[in-house]
Amino acid sequence: MSETGSLFGWLIAIGLFLTLLNYPVKVIYRTKIAPLPRESKMKTAYGHIQRFIVTYHRFFALFTTLMLTAHIIIQLVYRWLSWTGLAAAILMVVNGFLGGYGHFIKKKKRSAWFYIHRTVASLLIIAIVVHLVTNGR
């Protein structure tokens, strides 16, 4: 069963990767793509990719949360309650609510929520790395 448990763990990682792409995709746009001329094919193509990543951000996050739920159930039933995993899960759920708040209530307008959302995402990455290097202890 540990195989299936790890599978969901890795599906969380993939979902999270897609969720987090939001950030580097925008940084690359600002630094490398924005200066290109309007007619640039690269700029048009990149624009499509960026729109896809940004539009589906919340659905990537939702997918990640569903995989997290499966991972938690399997690990609780067949393994143990992982404290490092729990810390990561709490950070992820909190960030989901923060994102929802920014998206639906603040209508994506940047204010404190945005910087907290970003900071919690960084803490989440650290928590997951700890969870992985301690083998889910």
Minimum distance between the CB of residue 65 and ligand HEM, rounded to whole angstroms?
7
Minimum distance between the CB of residue 42 and ligand HEM, rounded to whole angstroms?
21
Angle between helices 57-78 and 2-20 (to 10 degrees): 160
The interface with ligand HEM within residues 10-39 (CB under 6 A) comprises: 10, 12-13, 19-20, 22-23, 26
Phi-psi domain of 36 (left: phi exceeds 0; alpha: psi -120 through 50; beta: other): beta
Considering the complex, state which of residue 3 and residue 41 has its C-beta at the smaller distance from ligand HEM.
3
Considering the complex, state which of residue 33 and residue 72 has its C-beta at the smaller distance from ligand HEM.
72
Rounded Cα distance, 96 and 62, in Å: 8
Considering the complex, state which of residue 32 and residue 118 has its C-beta at the smaller distance from ligand HEM.
118
80 is an interface residue for ligand HEM by CB under 6 A: yes
Rounded Cα distance, 110 and 57, in Å: 16
Considering the complex, state which of residue 46 and residue 131 has its C-beta at the smaller distance from ligand HEM.
131
9 is an interface residue for ligand HEM by CB under 6 A: yes
Rounded Cα distance, 112 and 37, in Å: 34
Minimum distance between the CB of residue 61 and ligand HEM, rounded to whole angstroms?
4
Q: Which two tokens stand for residue 57?
A: 């951000």
In contact, 16 and 128? CB cutoff 8 Å: yes
Rounded Cα distance, 60 and 23, in Å: 14
CB within 8 A of 74, min separation 6: which ones? 1, 4, 5, 8
Query: Which residues sit at the interface with ligand HEM, rule CB under 6 A?
Result: 2, 5-6, 9-10, 12-13, 19-20, 22-23, 26, 54, 57-58, 61, 64, 68, 71-72, 75-76, 79-82, 85-86, 88-89, 92, 95-96, 99-100, 102-103, 108, 117-118, 121, 124, 128, 131-132, 135-136
